[in-house]
Amino acid sequence: MNVRFASAAAAERHAVPVPLVDTFGRAVTYLRVSVTDRCDFRCVYCMAEHMTFLPKPELLTLEELDRLCSAFVARGVRKLRLTGGEPLVRRDVMTLFRSLSRHLDSGALEELTLTTNGSQLARFASELADCGVKRINVSLDTLDPQRFRALTRWGDLNKVLAGIDAAQEAGIHVKLNAVALRGENEDEIPSLIEWAHGRGMDVSLIEVMPLGETGSERVDQYLPLSTVRARLEERWTLEDIPFRTGGPARYVSIPETGGKLGLITPLTHNFCEGCNRVRVTCTGTLYMCLGQEDAADLRSPLRASESDEKLHAALDDAIFRKPKGHDFVIDRPGRAPSVRRHMSVTGG
Q: For the residues 64-81, what does the mean pLDDT come to?
A: 98
Looking at the domain 3-346, which fold is it? TIM Barrel (3.20.20)
- Going through the chain in order, the beta strands assigned E by DSSP cover 30-34, 79-83, 111-116, 135-139, 173-180, 202-207, 239-240, 250-254, 259-264, 277-280, 285-287, 295-297
List the single range of 44-53, 93-102, 313-322 with lowest mean pLDDT. Answer: 44-53
How many CA atoms are closer than 13 Å to the CA of 82, on its beta-carbon side? 24
The percentage of the chain sitting over the pLDDT mark of 90, rounded to a whole number, equals 71
135 is in an annotated binding site: no
What is the chain's mean pLDDT, rounded? 87
Q: Is residue 187 packed enough to be buried (19+ CB in 10 Å), middle (13-18) or exposed (0-12)?
A: exposed
27: which DSSP letter? B
* 16 in a labelled binding site: no
For 132-144, how does the pLDDT look when each residue is reduced to its tens digit (9 = 90+)? 999 999 999 999 9
Residue 329: Cβ within 10 Å count = 12
287 annotated ligand binder: no
Does 79 show up as a binding residue in the annotation?
Answer: no
Where is pLDDT greater, at 52 or 345? 52
- The response to whether 44 counts as a known ligand-binding position is no
- Please state the domain extents for the chain: 3-346
Other Cβ atoms closer than 10 A to 20: 22
CA–CA separation, 240 and 238 (whole Å): 7
**Of residues 287, 277, 276, 270, the one with CA closest to residue 325:** 270
Taking alpha carbons only, the member of 324, 325, 326, 322 closest to residue 22 is 322
pTM for this structure? 0.86
69 is in an annotated binding site: no
Q: For residue 101, how many other CB atoms are within 10 A of its CB?
A: 17
Pick from 130, 54, 83: which is nearest to 283 by CA? 54
> Is 282 labeled as ligand-binding?
no
Please name which of 322, 343, 318 lies closest in space to residue 273, comparing C-alpha atoms: 322
Residue 131 assigned ligand-binding role: no
